[in-house]
Amino acid sequence: MSNTALKIERRGRVVILENQHPPHNRMTLEYMDELERAVMSLQDDREVRAVVITAAGTEHFSVGMDLKQLRANADDRGGFEAVLDQRLRVLAAIEQLDKPVIATMFGYCLGGGLELPLACHFRFAASEGAQIGLPELDLGTVPAWGGTARLTRTVGRAHALDLILRAKKIDGPTALAIGLVHEVHPIDELKARAFDLAEELAAQPPLAVAGVLRAVVGAEHLPLDEALRIEREAVRRCSGTADQIEGMKAFIEKRRPNFQGR
């Protein structure tokens, strides 16, 4: 299935969402519209168990928002604030999906090209050639898609301030060292490795995966007693399900479980 700005490919229980504006893969207004529709549909699709967000080619993941298009067309979208509201809404929807989302990061991952991966649950970066950062201060402004908050929560205040206030661009190994990405791989293996992880996660019991995401992402900054309540609710939802019974049986029989999503 292919749209104008976003290619949607389904491989078994994994869906791959690919920005179709190489080489720079700018996040156009049309791309965000199509991405929002795709994410909304994925939330209710029980057959999809994991998502990969990537971009066409191997040059750049994304240089972020198409500023020329924004200046020319923002008024038609209700103004600049409305455009930002949509982008924040889409990233929040990705972050709150009840199935894991993996981002691939290669070449330029700047501005929105970093803020989108920050909303994903896993981030894989190229071991060579990546330039990752939030350079908005060079444009006289501030990251606008939740970059300040999500980057700080991901790497801590010291690294966030260092990256943002100095408009730094770091490579994949440096991003791995500060905890910004989970793994680095050669560029010619990066997308395949992200898909491998998606398949691995798709084989897990989906109700339990959703419970973990709810407990970790949704309760990350709640008081401990509230976070524990959310965790206990996730346990209750899994108790007695076919997948929970299968998991226990497979453990006893010393074999790999075959989770069916029930």
Q: How far apart are the C-alpha atoms of 215 and 194, rounded to whole Å?
A: 23
DSSP track, 233-247: HHHHHHTT-HHHHHH
Paired tokens of 243: 């997948």
Sheet with 122-126: strands ordered across: 6-11, 14-19, 50-55, 101-105, 122-126, 183-185
- Looking at the annotation, which residues are catalytic? 115, 136
**Distance linking the first and last C-alpha atoms of the chain:** 28
Residue 93 to residue 80: CA distance in whole angstroms: 20
- Tracing tokens 């201060």 back to the chain, one arrives at 137
The β-bridge partners of 124 are 104, 183
Q: Quick one: tokens of 259?
A: 């989770």
d(CA 213, CA 220) in angstroms, rounded, equals 10
